[in-house]
Amino acid sequence: MVTAYYPAEIAHALRERWVQTEGSPLPEHAVLTQFLSIIYQASLLREEARPVECHVVLATSAQLTAAPGPLATGPHVVAFGTPRPWNEQEIRRLSPAVARPATLLAVRQTEAGELVLWGLLVTDMPWDRLPGSPAPTAEEVPPVLVVHVQGPGLLTCYCGATRVLTLRAGRIDGHGFLQFPTAWSRGRFGEMVAANPQLGPAELNLIAMLGHHVQRRAVARVRAGGHGGLLVFVPPGAVAELLAPGGLLRPKYPTQELGREGRCSQLIHAIIARQQALGDVSWPYYQQARDPELRALAVALDHFADLMADLMAVDGALVLTQNLEIVGFGVEIRAPHIALDHVHRALDLEGEHLQAELADQGGTRHRAAYRLCAAAPACLAVAVSQDGGVQLVHQNAGRIIFWSQLA
């Protein structure tokens, strides 16, 4: 049975997750419910044929101006001469003025316990950052509640710049952060490492984190687009066989990245080299670093992930090597000879506890992923549904195993 979440339940779920953050205290349950209820109702409206999309911050002027930072990059707070009532129609009317991700409606609680819309917050930071993107400093982002209205019933709640939960189609996605099951990825992305035997444990860990970040960002972009997609990883040595006439993969748009190695590998190696020069080869340093060269490399890596998401929007699968080199897109998976009655849902990250399910319960993308992994055990697949659900699929010991996440 699927449970639908609405404002009162969202408020409760948000408070449960908020205690794991270092955020400013949330208001009492009734006030928090009212705050979220108005935002939820506004998300269902349209302003001159456009759906309402905006960001809202629950904070006082003192909280927003406590640590302004440098004049050129500090927040710009604009207070209304008279606070406006907090209701869905005010959000609808003001939404065109706060369409940019860095501009937010500011709401506070009065001494009488009522909520009022008191101004605007303008920052240099886009509040719709994807998980894993380089983080802003604490001075740039106060640890207050921010809600991103993305569409009808689609809300993302942040503590500062950190995602706390996402409401999508009445369901809560947690922090929306894709986890990679150990059993799914173990030993599958080693080519980049094998080409650099001199790398130490810190470098190897950073390679893994950067590779995961690219995949997470691409999947997040596909989910945000609402169109679904299929991502397939194949061993580099198996590309020729899989794409040969009569092979399992038939790309409408076969591709070949020019240069000694793929773009993603080049960027990851450049990031590692730069962090070695800066004296800290770690994932937290990558996220927090202010070095201009490292920032530029991070932006380029995000652009590669965005390209992956764009290619996944084309009908068919996007196929990459497990070294993250683009092989082709619009790929048809041809495995009609594979008879598959059951697949197995993994109940833990290691895939040790499984639950058998009928193979035909999934959609077309999912069944294609199952058949491919059954016919080519070394392949991996990530199937994204139109409703935002994500399945990671592989074969182990003759069984097709999938991990279902996010939806």
Closest CA to 223 of 404, 389, 53, 28: 389
Per-residue exposure over 23-35, b if at least 16 CB sit within 10 Å of its own CB, e if not:
bbebbeeebbbbb
In a domain, 292, yes or no: no
Same domain for 221 and 322? yes
> Would you say residue 272 has pLDDT above 90?
yes
In a domain, 49, yes or no: yes
205-to-212, 284, 400 alpha-carbon distances in Å: 11, 11, 28
Same domain for 22 and 153? yes
Of 110, 137, 172, which residue constitutes the final position of a domain?
A: 172
Please say whether the dihedral angle defined by the alpha carbons of residues 189, 195, 201 and 204, taken in this order, is positive or negative: negative
The pLDDT assigned to 300 comes to: 94
Same domain for 251 and 123? no
Number of domains in the chain: 2
Q: What is the tens place of the pLDDT at every residue in 146-160? A: 999 988 888 889 888
In a domain, 276, yes or no: no
> Would you say residue 142 has pLDDT above 70?
yes
> Would you say residue 386 has pLDDT above 50?
yes
Same domain for 157 and 36? yes
In a domain, 296, yes or no: no
pLDDT bucket at 189, cuts 50 / 70 / 90: low
For residue 184, what are the contacts with CB-CB under 8 A and spacing of at least 6? 351, 380, 392, 394, 403
Q: What is the tens place of the pLDDT at every residue in 290-348? A: 899 999 999 999 999 999 999 999 999 999 998 889 999 999 998 777 778 889 988 87
CATH number for the domain spanning 137: value is 3.40.1700
pLDDT top residue among 191 and 2: 191
CATH number for the domain spanning 342: value is 3.40.1700.10
The pLDDT assigned to 70 comes to: 42
Poorest-pLDDT segment among 95-99, 133-137, 289-293: 133-137
Q: Which tokens go with 43?
A: 């998300």
Q: What is the DSSP letter of 281?
A: -
Same domain for 154 and 26? yes
In a domain, 273, yes or no: no
Of 138, 172, 206, which residue constitutes the final position of a domain?
A: 172
How far apart (Å, rounded) are the C-alpha atoms in residues 269 and 153? 41
Instruction: Output the average pLDDT for the chain.
Output: 84
- Residue whose tokens read 């205290």: 25
Q: Which domain holds residue 32?
A: 7-172
Whole-structure pTM value: 0.66
Same domain for 136 and 189? no
Same domain for 251 and 381? yes
In a domain, 265, yes or no: no
How far apart (Å, rounded) are the C-alpha atoms in residues 43 and 22? 28
Same domain for 30 and 141? yes
Of 137, 172, 207, which residue constitutes the final position of a domain?
A: 172
H or E stretch including 121? strand 115-122
Q: Helix, strand, coil proportions of the chain in percent (round to 5)?
A: 35, 25, 40
Half-sphere exposure of 189 (CA within 13 A, CB side): 26
Same domain for 190 and 153? no
The pLDDT assigned to 2 comes to: 41
Same domain for 92 and 127? yes
Percentage of the chain exceeding pLDDT 90: 42
Same domain for 148 and 252? no
In a domain, 245, yes or no: yes
Same domain for 120 and 187? no
H or E stretch including 405? strand 399-405
In a domain, 266, yes or no: no
Residue 77: phi, psi to the nearest 5? -105, 125
CB atoms within 10 A of CB 161: 19
Q: How far is CA 145 from the centre of its chain?
A: 19
The pLDDT assigned to 72 comes to: 46
Q: What is the DSSP letter of 144?
A: -
The pLDDT assigned to 48 comes to: 80
pLDDT bucket at 204, cuts 50 / 70 / 90: confident
